[in-house]
Structure 1
Amino acid sequence: MKLQHFLNTYTDFKNKSFCSRYFTYIEVEQELKNLSPIFGLKEEGSTVEGRRIYSLNFGTGKKRILGWSQMHGNETTTTKALFDFFEFIQSEESLAKQFLNNFSFKIFPVLNPDGAQAYTRKNANQVDLNRDSVDLSQPESRLLRKAFDEFSPNLCLNLHGQRSIFGIKENKQASSLSFLSPSVDAKRQITEVRKQSMRLISAINDSLQAYLPGQIGRYDDEYNMNCIGDYMQTCGVPTILFEAGQIKDYQREDTRKWIWLAYITVLNAFAENKHKLGEWVSYLDIPVHEKNYFDIILRKAKINELIIDIAIQFEEKLDNNKIEFIPRISKIGGLDDFNGHKEFDLEAKNIMINGGLLHKTPQINEIWTTIWVENKNIVLAQG
């Protein structure tokens, strides 16, 4: 598979209906109903608030793939990439036809419609569905379990989005994408099932490193049976966690492209049986990412005679169907081992805010949208 070809032609497959971090579930439903009949749209059940949950069922192959996105309602990037994948599948690309011949797919584009509509991690009952895989206290969790039991997949794809706080310690890069082969027990033993998902993740990493050098991370594999990936891999089904991170714009349109390419790469590897034949040890070479990033760091800010670093993290807030990124002070000082997606060197100069000189150390959670340094304004708010 020539990845560069798909990179060059990505815009041909990009679904133009979703281009921001937030879109309503009504928009999702409309787009699902506009899809080609080949996708086999099926109403699987309903949410706590009565919204319909759909699956797409397509392909005629022997290998069965179960996937789901927006288990956390505010993680939309993998969903956008799924709609790009659906555009690809109905194209004339030979690889798309191979996928349809090799695989049978069952995909839940949005597992948590209530959370998606409200742009919240949890469902309407304030339950994290990714901590409900054993308890099955929520209707959304029960629907996914029913699909898992009845569909009997050979591979599961658990599609998420991560916060902008993760980075790679070794090279100080942000963790743009990250993956995990979940543990199957508290000892984190590397079983054959884990090796299969490790091999597939290694295939993704090998392909994308040329384009995202040093920017791909690995999630910590602490075991929690109530997490869906841990549960399914414990049941003997290779399961891969995808996490879409922060690259450039905060709408994550760039990240979306790389997630789409990761979908194509992992499916091609699965079709070629690399889950059984490839190398798995290289998975362990992917660095475990850490919480060592902030959205903004102001270096060498002068407040009276004190020179300090100030970290700002955006709070995401849904307002009038758009996401506002509200810049709040998150950490003051002790930032030598942290990095910012944006950094400003204030060169030990005084800060002005709200028209006056800043004379005291700010408080955690204070909102700073704009500061002035020597009559030059620095806009911290993100559009």
Structure 2
Amino acid sequence: MQGSPIFTRSIGRSVEGREIIVHANFGFAVSPPPRNSTLLIGGTHGNEPATVRALEDYLQSPAWEALRQFPTMVLPLANPDGAERATRYNARGVDLNRNCGFNWRPDCEEPPGPAAWSEPESVALRDFILAWQPAKVVSLHWALAEIDADGVQSTPLAQAMWESLDENARRPYRLRVTEPGRGQRRLERIYAACPGSVGQWCGYGLEYADGSAPAMITLELPYDPEAEARPDELPEDHLDTVRALWKTDAAGYLRGIEPGVHAMLATAIRFPAHS
């Protein structure tokens, strides 16, 4: 890539000692942390390679270069041991997206670990977020096909990301937000569905020293970029569909999703979450 450099640092190591790498368009020696920064996360589940490739491609794209003045951090692969095994979990069989310290539950359907923050990958991400205090966090997953906002502070960003898509790009997605005054029922549902997730911790359980909370978006990539519309209930074979697409034509899948993904990420990066 030509133009502004990409600064890179390790924020920790996985269970098996693999480095967890973050890239940024600013030097990590700055102090205090830049205001209104954005953190993009991929590969929390090691069997979701499209999230990793989408962010790696974004770092090499004209879209990234055009946003050099907006402080942005990119963590393409949060679970390197899981990626090595092509499994959802880390090397100890823990779902890192159930291991965070907000609403952590030992009886979770997915293995949450022996305690909240028990895994080195989760701790590395937690400590990095606390140190750099991103105003916006966008975590990519595969493949529920939705823009999901955690916390009322996240709703404006989710709506802006939705509005950045033209009618064709919106087809495979749906928008899910927390509306002021109507959040409790949704909180109960989300807590039951995803206890100890990064989204819950950042969206509902995290507050910085200045009293602000990050806008937290879980961006679920489509299971089929050619779908006519995102149904309310996904087909039972939606994961088989997307994995078959990836196996036979990963490049084609990425071509289908990346224009919309790049538009949404650019919107998130520009969005003035902190005044």
TM-score by length of 2: 0.68
Shift of 1:194: 2.8
Shift of 1:228: 0.6
**Cα distance in 2 for residues equivalent to 1:136 and 1:85:** 29
- CA shift in 2, pair 1:127/1:255, >3 Å: same
Shift of 1:54: 1.0
Match of 1:202 among 138, 162, 173: 162
Q: RMSD of the TM alignment (CA)?
A: 2.9
**Cα distance in 2 for residues equivalent to 1:105 and 1:218:** 24
Partner in structure 1 of residue 125 of structure 2: 144
Aligned runs of 1:1-383 on 2, under 5 Å? 38-59=5-26, 62-88=35-61, 93=62, 96-101=64-69, 103-134=70-101, 135-162=116-143, 177-182=145-150, 184=151, 191=152, 193-204=153-164, 207-211=165-169, 213=171, 215-218=172-175, 222-224=189-191, 226-234=196-204, 235=206, 236-247=213-224, 250-251=245-246, 252-270=250-268, 273=271
Query: What are structure 2's unaligned runs of at least 5 residues?
Result: 28-33, 102-115, 178-185, 207-212, 227-243
The answer to whether the 8 Å contact 1:160/1:242 transfers is yes
> Which has the larger Rg?
1
The answer to whether the 8 Å contact 2:36/2:273 transfers is no
Shift of 1:37: 8.6
**Cα distance in 2 for residues equivalent to 1:36 and 1:123:** 36
The answer to whether the 8 Å contact 1:131/1:226 transfers is yes
Shift of 1:57: 1.9
Shift of 1:62: 4.3
Partner in structure 2 of residue 286 of structure 1: none
**Cα distance in 2 for residues equivalent to 1:43 and 1:105:** 16
Amino acid at match of 2:22: S
- CA shift in 2, pair 1:257/1:158, >3 Å: same
The answer to whether the 8 Å contact 1:244/1:256 transfers is no
The answer to whether the 8 Å contact 2:146/2:175 transfers is yes
SS at match of 1:74: coil
Shift of 1:218: 4.3
**Cα distance in 2 for residues equivalent to 1:100 and 1:62:** 14
Q: RCO higher in 1 or 2 (8 Å CA, sep ≥ 6)?
A: 2
SS at match of 1:250: helix
- CA shift in 2, pair 1:161/1:271, >3 Å: closer
| Identity, % of aligned positions | 21
SS at match of 2:58: helix
Amino acid at match of 2:255: K
SS at match of 2:67: helix
Deviations 1:223-279 (A, max 9, x none): 235111121011221111111232266114344235432343224434654769xxx
- CA shift in 2, pair 1:87/1:194, >3 Å: closer
Amino acid at match of 2:215: P
- CA shift in 2, pair 1:231/1:259, >3 Å: farther
Q: Which has the higher strand share?
A: 1
- CA shift in 2, pair 1:209/1:59, >3 Å: farther
Deviations 1:125-178 (A, max 9, x none): 11100001111110000000011100100110111112xxx6xxxxxxxxxx32
- CA shift in 2, pair 1:268/1:48, >3 Å: closer
Amino acid at match of 1:144: L
Query: What are structure 1's unaligned runs of at least 5 residues?
Result: 1-12, 14-34, 167-176, 185-190, 277-383
How many residues are matched?
Answer: 213
The answer to whether the 8 Å contact 1:72/1:112 transfers is yes
Shift of 1:75: 0.2
**Cα distance in 1 for residues equivalent to 2:269 and 2:83:** 32
**Cα distance in 2 for residues equivalent to 1:133 and 1:123:** 14
Amino acid at match of 2:48: E
**Cα distance in 2 for residues equivalent to 1:58 and 1:97:** 9
